[in-house]
Amino acid sequence: MPYPTEPDRPANEAASRNDCGSCTICCTVMKVKELNKGAHTPCTHCHEGIGCTIYDKRPESCRVYECLWLRSQQFDKPLPANIRPDRCNVVIGTINNGNEVILYVDPSHPEAWRAPAFSEALGLFCSRGIPVHISCHDQITRVF
């Protein structure tokens, strides 16, 4: 989960490991069992413009979490800047030992994953035969 927030770098600038930039959406969308925080509930430790205020002491599940968008920034062909989770209201993750994709969708934007910006990524997953699921309101639905 997010490094302390930093200003967004221009989209054409090289990505780095902390390219969460100003994104903190997983701190709302994801469950954190150690904090007894449910899905789609803002974490009380996440402050706008600062990020995680307990960064050095954040729970283990926050330490190990990276969404697929962030992970992809180290790949030869990273997922594009315009589908960074805070820009599209969808956190891209994996399940089943990384073999399937799951899109955690902000319930206030349930159709966000259908945005044109996602077409290329969805096409890529489908062309590789990777199953894609949507998680919204704690309900998981396979869409491809």
Residues that bind ligand SF4 (CB under 6 A): 1-2, 20, 23-27, 32, 43, 45-46, 52, 54, 58, 62, 66-67, 69-70, 84-85, 91
Which contiguous run of DSSP H or E holds residue 69?
A: helix 68-72
Would you state the structure tokens that stand for residue 6, as one six-digit string? Answer: 């930093």
Q: In whole angstroms, give the CA distance from residue 61 to residue 66.
A: 10
Whichever of 35 and 122 has its CB closer to ligand SF4, that residue is 35
Whichever of 33 and 142 has its CB closer to ligand SF4, that residue is 33
Nearest distance in Å: CB 85, ligand SF4: 4
In terms of Cβ atoms closer than 10 Å to its own Cβ (0-12, 13-18, 19+), residue 30 is: buried
Nearest distance in Å: CB 29, ligand SF4: 7
